[in-house]
Structure 1
Amino acid sequence: MKLGVFTVLFSQKPFEEALDYIASKGLDAIELGTGAYPGNAHCDPAALLADEGKLKAFKQAVDSRGLTISALSCHANPLHPQKAIAKEADDIIRLTVELAQRLEVPVVNTFSGCPGDHEDAKYPNWPVAPWPNDFQEILDWQWTNKVIPYWTETGKFASDRGVKFGLELHGGFSVHTPATLLRLREAAGEVIGANLDPSHMWWQGIDPVQAVHILGREGAIHHFHAKDTTIDPINVNKHGVTDMQSYSLMLDRAWQFRTVGYGHDLKVWADILSALRLVGYDYVVSIEHEDGLMSIDEGFTKAVNNLQQILIKEPVGEMWWV
């Protein structure tokens, strides 16, 4: 496995300065935001695709520092019921796929999106309970009319260009659990896989190790984020795991994101990485730092130091003891 970072963390730094800093920490890979929620501070697909010279210089800047690009990320809602918002998301997803093809990056990370509850809806509707039965009807309508058709078509667009999608399993979107990811993968093909982030598993009550097994046995993990979560044992009883309070209200929230090792100890993280190796994932572990208690540099550095202790890097080789 290789250790990387989602570089939106360093959007305030010029691109090459950010690359130098990342390389100085001993990392192997970068994941780049190309628009939508992550922004495109370091990687503007339209500009790079329009200028071959810029594209070559961009790639050289990465290669010269011994880094690789693990994924291009454009998290957005291409199923948004407001057509202008959906089109903007779809446009950046397709541009990102085209750039990934040119840069020979195998994965584009994004969200599945979430539709409304009918054709004229204005806002997304995320059903989370099977009763009253209205919610089941909404869910069936969404998957039949929006989720599966969109990702079948868009998946083919990516597959034709040698690119896979890593859909982040994230609350608020149609694909948010291993089961919903596998449902879409079965319908739209193996181009669909997970950008698996343990932090979103923990707050939903899912054991990330088991999520790795469920998805990994199907070859459905295309990328991996390293981010932690802590659940407050008192606040969760008041607000539940679907706590709608702002992330800034850390003292009162039921759960919050932490840097690696500050929500779960390194034995838990070692179990996750071992499970990834067990199911055949030997790609990049990409740090995503969203810890409200730590600065960018400190949170990132602690995540690097913690993961370097437990990352499994070398090929297995023969079992010499049998």
Structure 2
Amino acid sequence: MKLGVFAVLFQQKPFEEALDIIAAHGLEAVEIGTGGYPGSSHCNPAELLADDAKLKAFKKAVESRGLTISALSVHGNPLHPQKAVAKEFHDAIIQTVDLAQRLEVPVVNTFSGCPGDSDDAKYPNWPVAPWPPDFQEILDWQWANKVIPYWTETGKYASDRNVKFGLELHGGFSVHTPATLLRLREAAGEVIGANLDPSHMWWQGIDPVQAIQILGRAGAIHHFHAKDTTIDPVNVHRYGLTDMQSYSNMLDRAWQFRTVGYGHDLKTWADIISALRLVGYDHAVSIEHEDGLMSIEEGFAKAVQNLQQVLIKQPLGEMWWV
């Protein structure tokens, strides 16, 4: 496994300066935003695809610092019921797949998206309860008419270019649990896998180690985010885990994102890393920093320090004791 970072953390800095910071912390991999919600401040796919010299310079900037690109990330909602919104996200995904092929990057990270409740809808509709039966009817319609058809077609486009999708299991989108990921993978093929982020498992009440076991046994983990979550033992009883308050209202929220080691101890993170090794995952552990209590620099540095203590890097080799 290689320790990396989602470089949008440093989007206010020029690309090469950001790479220098990442390399100086001893990291080996970088995940780069190419559009959608993460933005494209460090990477403009259209520009790189149109100019071989710029593409080569971009690749050299990464490789000359001893780094590899673990994934290109273009999170968005390509199933948005407003066609113009959906098209913008879709076009960014397709361009990113094309760029991943040219750069020989194995994974494009994004969200599954979430449709509306009909072809006439204006906004996404995320059903979270099976009753009243309206919700189940909406869910069935979404998967049959939007989720599966879209990802079957788009997945084939990526697979034909030797690129895989890492769908982040995130609340608010159709794929948000191991079960929903595996449901889509069964329908659309092995090109679909998870960009597994423990932080989103914890706030949904899912043990990340068990999620790794479930997805890993199916070979369905394509990328991994390292981010922590803490659940407030008092506020959660008032607002529940589906707390709709702004992330900035940290004093009152039921849960909040933290940097690695500040939501769960290093034994928990060691268990997570060990579970990844157990199921054969040997790609990047990519730090995502969204801790509202720490600066970018401090939160990033502490995540690096904590993960370096538990990351398993060397191949196991022969079990001499067996």
Name 1:264's counterpart in structure 2.
Answer: 264
1:230 alignment partner AA: T
1:106-145 mapped onto 2 (5 Å cutoff): 106-145=106-145
Name 1:81's counterpart in structure 2.
Answer: 81
- Following the alignment from structure 2 to structure 1, what is the Cα–Cα distance between the partners of residues 137 and 19? 48
Name 1:154's counterpart in structure 2.
Answer: 154
Name 1:301's counterpart in structure 2.
Answer: 301
Name 1:230's counterpart in structure 2.
Answer: 230
Name 1:68's counterpart in structure 2.
Answer: 68
SS of match in other structure, 1:170? coil
How many pairs are equivalent?
322
- Following the alignment from structure 2 to structure 1, what is the Cα–Cα distance between the partners of residues 212 and 5? 20
SS of match in other structure, 1:126? coil
SS of match in other structure, 1:116? coil
What are structure 1's unaligned runs of at least 5 residues? none
SS of match in other structure, 1:250? coil
Residue 52 of structure 1, CA deviation = 0.5
- Following the alignment from structure 1 to structure 2, what is the Cα–Cα distance between the partners of residues 198 and 21? 25
2:171 alignment partner AA: G
- Following the alignment from structure 2 to structure 1, what is the Cα–Cα distance between the partners of residues 217 and 84? 38
Name 1:278's counterpart in structure 2.
Answer: 278
Name 1:164's counterpart in structure 2.
Answer: 164
Q: Percent identity?
A: 84
2:157 alignment partner AA: F
- Following the alignment from structure 1 to structure 2, what is the Cα–Cα distance between the partners of residues 41 and 77? 19
2:54 alignment partner AA: K
Output the TM-score relative to the length of structure 2. 1.00
1:24-39 mapped onto 2 (5 Å cutoff): 24-39=24-39
Residue 139 of structure 1, CA deviation = 0.1
Residue 43 of structure 1, CA deviation = 0.7
1:15-26 mapped onto 2 (5 Å cutoff): 15-26=15-26
SS of match in other structure, 1:224? strand
Name 2:182's counterpart in structure 1.
Answer: 182
Output the TM-score relative to the length of structure 1. 1.00
After superposing on structure 2, the runs of 4+ consecutive aligned residues of structure 1 that deviate more than 3 Å are none
SS of match in other structure, 2:230? strand
Residue 13 of structure 1, CA deviation = 0.6
- 1:81-115 Cα offsets, whole Å, 9 max, x none, are 00000000000000000000000000000000000
Q: Tell me how large the CA RMSD over aligned residues is.
A: 0.3
- Following the alignment from structure 1 to structure 2, what is the Cα–Cα distance between the partners of residues 22 and 96? 22
SS of match in other structure, 2:76? coil
1:105 alignment partner AA: V
- Following the alignment from structure 1 to structure 2, what is the Cα–Cα distance between the partners of residues 265 and 44? 38
- 1:7-60 Cα offsets, whole Å, 9 max, x none, are 000001100011011000000000000001000010110010011000000000
- 1:222-263 Cα offsets, whole Å, 9 max, x none, are 000000000001000000000000000000000000000000
- Following the alignment from structure 2 to structure 1, what is the Cα–Cα distance between the partners of residues 62 and 246? 36
- Following the alignment from structure 1 to structure 2, what is the Cα–Cα distance between the partners of residues 255 and 50? 44
Name 2:90's counterpart in structure 1.
Answer: 90
SS of match in other structure, 1:9? helix
- Following the alignment from structure 2 to structure 1, what is the Cα–Cα distance between the partners of residues 137 and 21? 50
1:257 alignment partner AA: F
1:189 alignment partner AA: G
Name 1:11's counterpart in structure 2.
Answer: 11
1:188 alignment partner AA: A
What are structure 2's unaligned runs of at least 5 residues? none
1:37 alignment partner AA: Y
- Following the alignment from structure 2 to structure 1, what is the Cα–Cα distance between the partners of residues 140 and 277? 36
- Following the alignment from structure 1 to structure 2, what is the Cα–Cα distance between the partners of residues 141 and 32? 34
Residue 307 of structure 1, CA deviation = 0.2
Name 2:247's counterpart in structure 1.
Answer: 247
SS of match in other structure, 1:252? coil
Matched, 1:194 2:182: no
Residue 321 of structure 1, CA deviation = 1.4
- Following the alignment from structure 2 to structure 1, what is the Cα–Cα distance between the partners of residues 167 and 128? 19
SS of match in other structure, 2:314? coil
- Following the alignment from structure 1 to structure 2, what is the Cα–Cα distance between the partners of residues 305 and 147? 39
Residue 215 of structure 1, CA deviation = 0.1
- Following the alignment from structure 1 to structure 2, what is the Cα–Cα distance between the partners of residues 149 and 195? 21
SS of match in other structure, 1:18? helix
1:80 alignment partner AA: H
- Following the alignment from structure 2 to structure 1, what is the Cα–Cα distance between the partners of residues 160 and 321? 44
